[in-house]
Structure 1
Amino acid sequence: MHLKHKFILLSIVLFIANIGFFMRTNQIISESETKRMQNEITVFAQTLIPYYLNGNLNLIYKMGYNFGYKNIDNIPRNAQILKEESNGILYFKIFSYDSFIGFSISFLEDSINFVKQKDNNAWNNYKILILLFQLGLIFLLLFFLFYQIMRPLNKLKDSINELKNGIYAKKLKINQYDEIGLLFRDFNEMNEKISRMLKARELITRNIAHELRMPLAKIKLAISLKDGVELKEDLKKYIDSLNRISQNMLEFERIQSEGFELKNDEFLSESVVFEALKDLGGNKISLNIIKSIKIKGDLHLLSVAIKNLIENAIKYSDDGVVDIELNEEGIVFINKGKELQNDISYYFEPFYRGDITKSGYGLGLSIVKEIISLHKMNIIYKYDCGRHIFILCFKRNIF
């Protein structure tokens, strides 16, 4: 429920509760006051009856006047009878009308009737107490609501301070679905993006010097030992390696950046493979198209992922051969090679180290992982009969 709706609902509840409380309190006090006055009148009437039976009316009128009563001729027609007693000869009634309460004593054909103003002092005395109680109740409810709002906001403040101080903030748990819950969700998304971006930049900054050292050393060695055509070929190979490093780093940084937007184009699965293969000429690659399917996604990024998978397969293949198969599930990459020393998840981390990294720069498979994750696709790995098999599944984005 939105905060605005909560405030409106709370205001309505408080308004209705105050009215209900006021009416019920007024009813209780009124009933209590009426009962008190009935008892008072009963005692006073019992005092007057002997004088009434003796015919001493002047004394009765004087006593009534002294106690705040006034004499009336008859009981008003709109009066409500509150109490009625009789012994067959003497009749006694207590009645109420408008703001008056009174009594009647009848004997034979004669009667006396007295009324007095109802006492509102009791209600007036309780007004301040009731008002203070209602204000206290409203204050407690508002304090509870304020506490409910401020408690999660304080958590958010602490997380923002952690993020500001360079500490990766913990994911905030969302227990409510109002504006604060939406704010928590947006913060979690922002925190995740910032954390990923900072980690990516941290990894790149920490490893870039090390990654460039090897190809640069090879270039330096080639220049000092070789000349002519052989030198040019080696230089081209090492420069291509440097170019791949820089391209992978730039691509990795781009997809980690906050303003990155994923395209959602429509194309055939064979198109993305051909896009990846156009810069890989001269390699032993076999392509078997069993079935081409339509997919949606970013053609360039998917081609980068496929190119990295192919280059990885070529680099670590025993015979330099890579078999690619297109079927209704996705794209399968197969190459012969030794079994991995670590779990496959290890090699999908940026700048991994292991036996599989011959001249490796440790970014290829991590870029594949990021691109596949962005497209909400799956990648499956298995090792079977001396062969590494990667399956890029398009199932989630097939239409």
Structure 2
Amino acid sequence: MIRNISISTFINIIFSLAFIATVITFSLFISFDKQKHEINQQNRYELIAENFLSTFQNLPTAESLINLFKKFQVRPLENRDDKLKIIKNAQELTITQNYLGTYRVYKYDAQYYIYVQQYGYNLMLKDIRNSNYSMAIIISAFVISLITIFFLYAILKRKLKPLKLLNKQIIEFSNGNKDIKIKAISNDEIGTIAKSFNEAIRLINNQSKSKDLFMRNMMHELKTPITKAMFIAETLQNEQTRDNLQRAFKRMDDIIKELATVEKLTSANSMMYKEQTSFFNIYTKTLEIMMISPENIASKIKGFQFEVDVSMFSIALKNLIDNAIKFSPNNKAIINASKEQIEISSLGEPLKYDLDYYTEAFSQEEKRSDGFGLGLYIVKTIVNLHGYKFTYHYKDGKNYFCIKM
């Protein structure tokens, strides 16, 4: 699952987890630190009380008591009303009784008081040291941690921003914009990838232009001598020689037409001219291109309208019907067409490989004298350009090629 999420989403998840972990860590730390503070306070008050109770047994002088007040940073409360008010209204935190006497710890208005009792002595002490739990340092550390996390997050997102731009430009290039130039705005790995991709685009464009120029020149140079040769072959007296030559030249002409179709479909300047038309119109045009008798085709067609490039779609249908007739033992093709799908079937052996093998250019199960391995490649290319899906299955001794719409 992690392999399927984007880098940006992954970073967001990581920093979200880091933020949550930081909050939980500081929350637990505060909780434990408070407990530790309370234990330390309790131990301090216990020490203070036991020192005063021990001193009371030895009949302390005023000077010795003053020294204890200074040592433990406490101050006695002299006002009786104040004592009663604290005993009545304060929160009693603890009460301890031992052989020395009794002491209590009170909390009142954020102040702590120690009430020490022994025979002959009744003393309430106020803790004048700041004993309240302070979170200032912890909060400061927490804020600094969060600022650090957000700072690192912002830096990393900014560092990856060129990668998003690079991805956008690569998608634009894959969609057909061959003139795009990717901007390399940094000298790091992303900038290196951008420079390398620019170089790859340049090489691809040069190769594409060379291929287009070669294809057009080759087809132009071959078309004329083939046409002339076919006319010359007509003048031959030997019928068998004439037929053999005409078949050879016809095959060469078919190959050039297929290559021309491939060149048109793969050209950067290839344009589709979609128009609303009926399937009957496509079917009629296909039969005109094939120049065969309708007796070779059994059709079951439902009348429907759809938007296609008439010329391209007729070529795709022609290739499917031509393959069905050519490789069927009874030389017949069956067409079932509806608005949902166009299905061409014929008797024959199942394909040896997956359909993807045959939709690659120049793919054949074996070398044949009557094919060039471009038929299904052209079909799939045209079907994909229209946004349809090209499928194949075998059932009851028949091959079924379907264009799902």
Instruction: Please classify the TM superposition score into its range, dividing by the shorter chain length.
Output: 0.5 to 0.7
Q: In the superposition, relative to structure 1, how do residues 120 and 291 fare at CA in structure 2: closer, same or farther (>3 Å)? A: same
Q: In the superposition, relative to structure 1, how do residues 104 and 271 fare at CA in structure 2: closer, same or farther (>3 Å)? A: same
CA RMSD of aligned residues (A): 5.6
> Is 1:218 matched with 2:226?
yes
The C-alpha deviation readout for 1:256-295, integer Å capped at 9, x for no partner, is x599779696744x443123223344x3342433342647
Amino acid at match of 1:244: K
The C-alpha deviation readout for 1:311-335, integer Å capped at 9, x for no partner, is 556778999x654543677443659
1:115 aligned partner: 126
Q: 1:278 aligns with which of 267, 280, 288?
A: 288
1:70 aligned partner: 75
Q: 1:58 aligns with which of 48, 55, 62?
A: 62
TM-score by length of 1: 0.60
Q: In the superposition, relative to structure 1, how do residues 12 and 248 fare at CA in structure 2: closer, same or farther (>3 Å)? A: same
The C-alpha deviation readout for 1:328-360, integer Å capped at 9, x for no partner, is 774436599xx89986856543235753243x5
TM-score by length of 2: 0.59
1:365 aligned partner: 376
C-alpha distance in 2, partners of 1:318/1:21?
A: 81
Q: In the superposition, relative to structure 1, how do residues 138 and 202 fare at CA in structure 2: closer, same or farther (>3 Å)? A: farther
2:262 aligned partner: 249
Does the CA-based 8 Å contact 2:344-2:401 persist in structure 1? Answer: yes
For the residue of structure 1 that corresponds to 2:123, the secondary structure is strand
Q: In the superposition, relative to structure 1, how do residues 64 and 382 fare at CA in structure 2: closer, same or farther (>3 Å)? A: closer
| Ranges in structure 2 where 5+ consecutive residues have no aligned partner | 168-189, 237-241
For the residue of structure 2 that corresponds to 1:94, the secondary structure is strand
> Is 1:24 matched with 2:34?
no
Q: 2:95 aligns with which of 84, 97, 103?
A: 84
Give 1:378 shift.
1.9
> Is 1:332 matched with 2:305?
no
Give 1:35 shift.
1.9
Amino acid at match of 1:50: Q
Q: Figure out how many residues of one structure are paired with residues of the other and give that number.
A: 346
More displaced stretch, 33-42 vs 58-67: 58-67
2:361 aligned partner: 350
Does the CA-based 8 Å contact 2:325-2:346 persist in structure 1? Answer: no
Q: In the superposition, relative to structure 1, how do residues 361 and 265 fare at CA in structure 2: closer, same or farther (>3 Å)? A: same
| Ranges in structure 1 where 5+ consecutive residues have no aligned partner | 168-194
The C-alpha deviation readout for 1:118-151, integer Å capped at 9, x for no partner, is 3449x67x96588557745875797699889989
The C-alpha deviation readout for 1:65-116, integer Å capped at 9, x for no partner, is 4323222134324333333344699543333333433333334575222222
Q: Within 5 Å, give how 1:303-314 maps onto structure 2.
A: 303-311=314-322
Q: 2:56 aligns with which of 49, 62, 70?
A: 49
Does the CA-based 8 Å contact 2:53-2:116 persist in structure 1? Answer: no
1:180 aligned partner: none
Q: How many percent of aligned residue pairs carry the same amino acid?
A: 16
